[in-house]
Amino acid sequence: MQYMIIFREPLAEFDKRQDPDQQGAYWGAWGAYIGAMRAAGVIVKGDGLLPPSTATIVRQRDGARLIEDGPFPDVKEQLGGYFVIEVPDLDAAIDWAGRSPAALAGSVEVRPVMPADMLL
């Protein structure tokens, strides 16, 4: 079964990506995690995201399109990226989510991917 694991991190974690003193450990932890998933053959797809300051929110209200640029300070954690993984069951997906570096400082959401035949 396929599950999406969604990584949320505090802004302080995003800052580590560019901090010369912290980026080695930050990216090293992610590299080890992704390497383990690749070795296990569970990755279907995945992407990291650029910082929240690069985001744009689009809303339609009363026929008007409203555009809002980031960052969005109302939330404590920001979406950092995701993977779609293929594993036998929810317990296996939870295990992979719990190994994520994001689980240490932020949170990881696990959701089953809707099968294509349900979209019709």
| Range(s) of the domain holding residue 79 | 2-118
Q: What does the mean pLDDT of the chain come to?
A: 91
Q: What is the model's pTM? A: 0.85
pLDDT at 84 over 70: yes
pLDDT digits (tens, 9 = 90+) for 43-79: 999 999 988 888 888 889 999 998 988 766 567 888 8
Q: What is the mean pLDDT of residues 106-110?
A: 95
Task: For residue 5, give the H/E element and its range.
Answer: strand 2-9
pLDDT at 103 over 70: yes
* Torsions phi, psi for 75 (to 5 deg): -115, 150
pLDDT digits (tens, 9 = 90+) for 29-44: 999 999 999 999 999 9
Per-residue confidence (pLDDT) for residue 117, from 0 to 100: 81
Q: 108: helix, coil or strand?
A: strand
Find, among 86, 89, 108, 88, the residue nearest to 99 by Cα.
Answer: 108
How many angstroms separate the CA atoms of 81 and 108, rounded?
10
Helix axes 23-40, 90-99, angle to 10 degrees: 160
Per-residue confidence (pLDDT) for residue 35, from 0 to 100: 97
Query: Which tokens go with 102?
Result: 């994001």
Whether omega for the bond prior to residue 52 falls within 30 degrees of 0, making it cis, is no
Counting the structural domains of the chain, the total is: 1
- Give the CATH number for residue 61: 3.30.70.1060
